Amino acid sequence: MSHSFQVTKTHGAARTGVITTAHGTIQTPAFLFCATKAALKGMTMDMARALGMPAILCNTYHLMIQPGAARIAHLGGLHAVADWQGPILTDSGGYQIFSMGHGSVGDEIKGRAIRRESFIVSIADSGVIFRSYQGGEKLLLTPERAMALQRYLGADLVVQLDECTPFHAGYEATAKAMRRSVRWLDRSLATMAAWQGKSAQGHPQGIYGVIQGGVWDDLRAQSAQAVAARHDDLFGIAIGGSLGSTPQQMREAVDMALVPLPAQAKTRPIHLLGVGEMGAILHGVSRGIDTFDCVHPLRIARHGTALRQGQPALNLGRAIHADDRAPLDEACACPTCQAYTRGYIHHLFKAREMLAGTLVSVHNAATMMGFMADLRTAIDQGVSLESVAKAWIA
């Protein structure tokens, strides 16, 4: 089965659609949950299937270090080892390499200038040499190797290696990295063509080209135009890199990447990398973005924070919840909310029981999926997305 993307309904720039892969379909707009090391944090794949989770994203950077892409291929590929037969997207590893070189994933790349010792040894057109965060040994990642790793991993959707500049990088550094990412895209496409775009397990793979350029509109435009010029060879387009330090800058950077894209390029699915906050997703959907990914919903779950529909998130570590017999969210029909109280889950966190994170992870996943479902319904029915915002965003 070949990959395809079909837009099914539009409402302004927002759209619903269907991404078809060898391992199933994704109804868009959709949120892809991060199974960073080929496992969802705090949840089994059976739990994910029961919720109707559409797809997962696995991390090439972490998997190349442990256990290694070749070993995963030997064990049957990501779908087999993770017990997930739905669509899988793998990123290139570039985001993690460069964020660990300039700061943490959640800090430096996203605008908070926290610096630490760099894991990067050198960056050149040939590739990136960096030190493993496990043993400290030097590793090389090139556009060709990033594609080979993803071929062995066996994802349905893969991403080119790009140079992801942090927020503190200046204009010239960002421009240099953007142009290098375009050259790396051409090498990635050539590498995929050599094995007819198929994984080591024999199924088709679709590649995303990444728009870079930081917070500069001319650089975003140049990158978008370069990626769009190669759309015949791409399955999809991704927006990456620094999106600024404020929600407003993020919206502006997203618009900078989308506005220069010609209509023909927008026939491809568009993915916004690393964004999981509902307000940012709503803005992206309103501009025509189809898919999103982020560790946020499951990460905060493990630390005792429950998302809620139209209300502030719930901090279950607070003593105020100790005797609370209410569910996490009375508007939620997930298994957690149907069976457990805030008081019990508060007790589990205080007792450091692993079940605590699992219960909130299931709830947060269900909440994100409910939000995305309402966005799809609003678009299909021609209803303003502001109605979804009022219902879901506190």
Q: Which H helix or E strand runs over 45?
A: helix 45-51
With contact defined as beta carbons under 8 Å apart, do 298 and 364 qualify? Answer: yes
Residue type, 378: A
- Distance in Å from the first CA to the final CA of the chain: 42
- Which of 83, 91, 329, 380 does the annotation list as catalytic? 91
Beta strands in the chain (DSSP E): 4-11, 14-21, 24-28, 30-34, 56-59, 88-91, 120-124, 127-131, 138-141, 157-159, 206-211, 236-239, 270-272, 291-294, 305-308, 311-315
Active site residue 233: no
With contact defined as beta carbons under 8 Å apart, do 342 and 321 qualify? Answer: yes
With contact defined as beta carbons under 8 Å apart, do 17 and 54 qualify? Answer: no
DSSP state, residue 10: E
- Which of 156, 162, 290, 293 does the annotation list as catalytic? 293
Return left, alpha or beta for 218; rule: phi > 0 is left, psi -120 to 50 is alpha, else beta: alpha
CA distances from residue 193 to 5, 147, 197, 198 in whole angstroms, order as listed: 20, 11, 6, 9
With contact defined as beta carbons under 8 Å apart, do 378 and 385 qualify? Answer: yes
Active site residue 91: yes
CA distances from residue 224 to 124, 230, 247, 252 in whole angstroms, order as listed: 22, 10, 21, 14
DSSP states of 275-310: ---HHHHHHHHHTT--EEEESHHHHHHHTTEEEETT
Q: How far is CA 334 from its chain centroid? A: 23
Active site residues: 91, 293
